[in-house]
Structure 1
């Protein structure tokens, strides 16, 4: 599989170039930077700090359309949808790690999956996706007797809150407990709010420094508390997961997949 990385000069883009170069069965076919970037024409490997790879950065997907089979996109919701539309039109697969998509944007992304294969997940980490499986199992066993609280922390530059991963964790727990997260979620607490209700799922958000990503889910009752925790110390964990997803897409029919599909956890 020939992979295209968009946003190749950014922190995640550089990690994706490195991860692609280190993964068997895939190769870097294209690297896209902003059209006004001074790096247009530069070698993608040198942009990522690993030496020449023989792939020159381009200013648009259109400039690289013949050079890749699957696009990895960790950009912004609006740009991701533009890129997904391009991939659907040109029969290219796409892996989407972008967070912050609203329900309408997710629906639009799903419409493109009718024409091409799409992996979309709020977190590409293999460890996080195993954690989701553990959360579902824990919630089914513990049931309504345990209060559920989700605490997440990220770097100061993250623009969406709670994180897409935290929301997905809440969805997984709610589904296992037979609840609708839209009805039971509580985002932060302040003032005289009264005692906690039995079926609410609470979210707390921390934004500070350079935290890559930390998520902790509490199941608490009288006398004990269980915590399921995932901590990411490097963006490379997300990059490696995304490249694994890109490789998995080879030969897959059009459709909307997630990392649970990629890792055979369903």
Structure 2
């Protein structure tokens, strides 16, 4: 059994990860950690997740706690990333990272950590989304020179970053296929007299509403037809199961930076 340590256990994804570990045939909960000031410290992790008791109490994150797991999973906040990576490095533990909205500096932290420990970093851990990344590259190679390309994404009202990390991953996959620099060709909003659409641009549209778990569409439109590649997630458990698949795979890898495409054998 692989012991999984969950950082940010009181978050929406943290609770679902606890549930996923409980239901996975090859994993068990090593620890479930929260901030030192959290009122959840001392609560059974299963009760926190709304499932059966796990006999693992929620604890503050520390060097000693990190040592009790074989692999760490971090779906916390960007501002916690550096500390979480330092703890993983100190304990020489592989880490799966699903935190989005990261800055260039924070991405560099991940790159540096991967020189010493195995790291999986992905914007989205669902199998369907990672297959979609392959599909949009194929569509771009066939239609990209003639089509207007737009990416539409929707998430729940509580999501703090926009566009989503997954939408950006889709954009990068398309741009790289077409030999474009996404930082120069992306359009993140249109208002007023925006002028005729430039054929080189890749547009992004963002929806934030209710409890949408995650909807993503890549639209390729010409003057005579359009192709839409869409993925819709109905449960966060999809992402949690994918993260556990990554964790089990990562335990057997050498140091380095890996993607979910690597985990699934899609590259």
Structure 1 length normalisation: TM-score? 0.97
Q: Which residue in 2 is equivalent to 1:216?
A: 217
**Whole-Å separation in 2 of the counterparts to 1:161 and 1:125:** 19
SS at match of 2:95: strand
Deviation at 1:36? 2.2
Deviation at 1:37? 2.4
34-43 vs 223-232, which moves further:
34-43
- 1:212-245 superposed Cα distances (whole Å, 9 cap, x missing partner): 1111110000111100001111111111111111
**Whole-Å separation in 2 of the counterparts to 1:103 and 1:39:** 32
**Whole-Å separation in 1 of the counterparts to 2:105 and 2:90:** 20
Q: Which residue in 1 is equivalent to 2:95?
A: 94
**Whole-Å separation in 2 of the counterparts to 1:23 and 1:86:** 25
Deviation at 1:263? 0.5
Deviation at 1:23? 1.2
- 1:58-107 superposed Cα distances (whole Å, 9 cap, x missing partner): 11132413310111111111202210121012100100000000112101
Deviation at 1:144? 0.7
SS at match of 1:144: coil
Q: Which residue in 2 is equivalent to 1:85?
A: 86
Alignment partner of 1:119 is 2:120: yes
- 1:101-124 superposed Cα distances (whole Å, 9 cap, x missing partner): 011210121101111010000111
**Whole-Å separation in 2 of the counterparts to 1:39 and 1:153:** 31
Q: Which residue in 2 is equivalent to 1:19?
A: 20
Pairs within 5 Å for 1:153-232:
153-232=154-233
Deviation at 1:178? 1.2
Deviation at 1:10? 2.1
Deviation at 1:34? 2.4
Cα RMSD, aligned residues only: 1.1
- Residues paired across the two proteins, number: 266
**Whole-Å separation in 2 of the counterparts to 1:38 and 1:145:** 56
SS at match of 2:110: helix
SS at match of 2:167: helix
Instruction: Note if contact 2:7-2:32 (Cα within 8 Å) is conserved in structure 1.
Output: yes
- 1:145-180 superposed Cα distances (whole Å, 9 cap, x missing partner): 011000111111111111111011000000111111
Deviation at 1:257? 0.5
**Consecutive aligned runs of 4 or more in structure 1 exceeding 6 Å deviation:** none
**Whole-Å separation in 1 of the counterparts to 2:47 and 2:65:** 18
Deviation at 1:51? 1.3
Deviation at 1:205? 0.8
